Amino acid sequence: MPKKNPDKFDVIVIGAGPGGYVSAIRCAQLGLKTACIDDWRDKNNQASPGGTCLNVGCIPSKAMIDSSEKYHSSMHGLKEHGIEIGDVKLNLKAMHSRKDKVVKELTSGVAALFMANKITFVSGRAKILADKNVEVIGHDKKDSQTIVADNIIIATGSSPKEFKLAPFDNKNIVDSTGALEFPSVPEKLCLIGAGVIALELGSVWRRLGAEVVLLKSRKNFLPEVDNDVSTEALKLFTAQGLNLKAGVKITQCKSEAKSVHITYQEDGKDVSYKADKLIVAVGREANTKNIFDKTLAIDLDEKGFIKVDDQCRTNVKGIFAIGDVVGGAMLAHKGSEEGIMVAELIAGHHASVDYETIPSVIYTDPEIAWIGKTEQELKTSSVEYNVGKFSFSGNGRARASGATDGFIKVLADKHTDRILGVHIIGPQASELIMQAKLAMDFSASSEDLSMTMFAHPTLSETLHEAALSVDNRAIHAVQAKKK
């Protein structure tokens, strides 16, 4: 019998973000000999698995969101609770230190999980060669090694897109990573873009005292969100001091010694704005540059994303791709589930991902979360539906907490009553949306939710009332009779 190559792996995962490291762990749990290659380095030039999400994205941004909310609350929201304090001071350096500590704890946790699951971690930049050989080049660009596997999972993620008129200078014009590292609060902050990332980052610095202006080329605000929710969000964010300029055309961005001069056209007129910092948040692009030899001919789409089937297989047998690098919903949890699916498939099991019920969240205050179809999508598809809606202002727990902005909206099929979508703007929307996901995953009707007993007093009772409202049966609201 031929000897088995001791340096050959069953699976090589390229990338240690939420898609890659989760996939690697599941592969190892399934008994597959697994290696994971990642080139991320922390501020001390040490290997730091976790990808964009743990290092400079989801986790540090949420740490800053939480800290900024606490600061703002101590300045403006405690007096009505009967709590009076003296002068509140911002220690931004300490806030950054806390954020960095949270990141380090989680990235170290990933490294520990790799060790516990006997996953071979290789630090460096990977390139896929012929016959599933993978070359790994060290960070000094001198040392290299080649490893081989039966299967390869590409999980290289995405990077912020650059805006041609405002190239990043890592000083005054920054991407989402640089926006989490400002050494002081900008007096005036401008953002190009008004999507999820721009709103979250803009909200952080607004709460910490910056004057914030968001510039976007399209007139519609948050087009991917249900119209009722986006309308309410715009009203609330404007009241908080986020100045949104929609339908503008940026003509020039000039970085100066300590500021950025932005010129744009609004309603046919030239407008000039001078900001201390400019954050460019115009989307993300796939990390596919130089990750595989051209002779492999892995198919990419016109935007540079890797083409895959509904089980994340590329056109090259034994090579899979997951997460941001394949496009679609660029969400950490989507990448993780794809990674688990691929691990199961490689191990010979059946697996799939339900792309119809992926929850989405914007971590503003109030939070925004949604799942399934929006009302505008149902109208476009000529699907007949019923609507149930309930405001947090009618919820006892929200009243007790002083967080009454927003509502929950349930969309149900007019004929079957099956829940088609749930849309939330309000306190803890990121947590509440999971009750909707569970209901939709089990093909629940609005009646199923309305017949479910919810604990009192809880914010989740708002979902209960919204489900009751579909059939005009909300208890804690006066409803007009439906025709």
Residues identified as active-site:
456
**Cα–Cα distance, 336 to 38 (Å, whole number):** 16
Radius of gyration of the chain (CA): 24
368 bridge partner residues: 362, 425
DSSP 357: G
DSSP class per residue in 410-458: EEEETTT-BEEEEEEEETTHHHHHHHHHHHHHTT-BHHHHHTS---SS-
C-alpha dist (Å) from residue 337 to 143, 330, 380, 440: 34, 12, 29, 17
**Cα–Cα distance, 348 to 193 (Å, whole number):** 44
With contact defined as beta carbons under 8 Å apart, do 168 and 280 qualify? yes
**Cα–Cα distance, 471 to 447 (Å, whole number):** 8
211 CB neighbour count, 10 Å cutoff: 16
Question: What backbone torsions phi and psi does residue 64 show, to the nearest 5 degrees?
Answer: -70, -35
Residue 307, burial from CB neighbour count under 10 angstroms (0-12, 13-18, 19+) = middle
Containing 209, the helix (H) or strand (E) segment is none
**Cα–Cα distance, 173 to 191 (Å, whole number):** 10
Containing 136, the helix (H) or strand (E) segment is strand 133-137
**Cα–Cα distance, 353 to 360 (Å, whole number):** 15
